[in-house]
């Protein structure tokens, strides 16, 4: 019941934002500000990657309890597929998600899991397009878009990941490259009620390094502008998460950036003790914006 109330509260907080015209003489910091931020509920999701056995159910339960204390924030855990059902049984106010799904509903795909299978196990969200899958499994932008549609067809909400390598960042092309990747990965019918975007600077994942706050702000604003070019005013309600080494030490500063609507959190989500400060930072920001 607590999880349902939290989700309803978040759903009620998402409003469509109006477009505002650009003007000549824009600086780098406001170059992409074409959509005003309006009431997007913070979304904080742990990606456990290839971590988590049944012994970690107590951590899931503890994170669910933390989520209940911050009901203005939508909190979830994307756990290994083998843990979805067990995690769903103890999730409390958090939701349980998957880390990937196959693009087909069924068939001769040994070792793969369809979105319907994940939903049946208890998942309500799934990640698609994570950089580790794009790199390790050679997933294309078209694959990612198709997986997102497959997830939606099975009733799952989707976190779609995009991001750049260190070489792209150093070349000064990050905003253009990642915006193009987002446009190419965006599924038909993309809408804020079932899709969120996660920006993950690939070079920052698991390293403890993050871009400057100005760089994060510029990238997130660029991604919102890219969304607006495809889906118009709907872009104002779509949440864009930051996904590169967010933790309790930097979450408050990251959450304060206008177009950062939460986080996709890796190592810092594996225990309630480490994840709680991130969730609290999101809750504090929601309170400040109320």
| 200 annotated active-site | yes
Measured CA to CA, the distance from residue 90 to residue 222 in angstroms comes to 38
In a domain, 147, yes or no: yes
Domain interval for residue 205: 37-271+280-289
Is the pLDDT score of 1 beyond 50?
no
In a domain, 115, yes or no: yes
The torsion of the CA quartet 250, 177, 140, 200, rounded to 10 degrees, works out to 0
Strands 125-128 and 74-78: unpaired
In a domain, 32, yes or no: no
Q: pLDDT tens digit string along 67-121?
A: 999 999 999 999 999 999 999 999 999 999 999 999 999 999 999 999 999 999 9
Global pTM value? 0.90
Helix (H) or strand (E) holding 158: strand 157-162
Q: pLDDT tens digit string along 176-232?
A: 999 999 999 999 999 999 999 999 999 888 777 789 999 999 999 999 999 999 999
In a domain, 20, yes or no: no
| 15 annotated active-site | no
Over residues 228-241, mean pLDDT: 97
In a domain, 22, yes or no: no
In a domain, 2, yes or no: no
Which one is catalytic: 132, 139, 200, 234?
200
Domains: count for the chain: 1
Which one is catalytic: 59, 130, 175, 220?
130
Q: pLDDT tens digit string along 113-171?
A: 999 999 999 999 999 999 999 999 999 999 999 999 999 999 999 999 999 999 999 99
| 8 A C-beta contact, residue 187 and residue 149 | yes
- The gap from C-alpha 186 to its chain's centroid, in whole angstroms, comes to 14
In a domain, 16, yes or no: no
In a domain, 24, yes or no: no
CATH number at residue 241: 3.20.20.70
């Amino acid at each position: 019941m607590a999880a349902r109330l939290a989700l309803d509260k978040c759903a009620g907080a998402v409003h469509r934002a109006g477009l505002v015209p650009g003007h000549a003489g824009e600086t780098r910091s406001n170059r992409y500000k074409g959509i005003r931020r309006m009431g997007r509920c913070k979304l904080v999701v742990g990606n456990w990657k290839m971590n988590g056995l049944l012994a970690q159910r107590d951590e899931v339960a503890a994170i669910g309890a933390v989520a209940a204390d911050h009901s203005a924030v939508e909190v979830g855990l994307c756990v290994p597929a083998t843990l979805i059902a067990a995690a769903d049984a103890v999730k409390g106010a958090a939701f349980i998600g998957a880390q990937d799904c196959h693009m087909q509903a069924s068939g001769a795909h040994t070792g793969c899991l369809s979105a319907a299978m994940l939903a049946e196990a208890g998942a309500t969200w799934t990640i698609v397009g994570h950089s580790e899958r794009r790199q390790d499994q050679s997933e294309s932008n078209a694959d990612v878009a198709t997986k997102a549609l497959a997830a939606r067809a099975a009733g799952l909400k989707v976190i779609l990941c995009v991001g750049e390598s260190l070489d792209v960042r150093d070349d000064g092309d990050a905003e253009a490259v990642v915006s193009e990747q987002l446009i190419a990965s965006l599924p038909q019918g993309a809408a804020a009620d079932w899709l969120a975007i996660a920006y993950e600077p690939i070079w920052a994942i698991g390293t403890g390094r993050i871009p400057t706050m100005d760089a994060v702000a510029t990238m997130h604003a660029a991604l919102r502008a890219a969304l607006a070019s495809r889906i118009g005013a709907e872009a104002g309600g779509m949440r864009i998460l930051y996904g590169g080494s967010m933790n309790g030490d930097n979450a408050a500063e990251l959450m304060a950036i206008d177009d950062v609507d939460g986080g996709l959190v890796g190592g810092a989500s594996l225990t309630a003790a480490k994840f709680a400060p991130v969730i609290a930072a999101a809750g504090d920001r929601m309170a400040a914006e109320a």
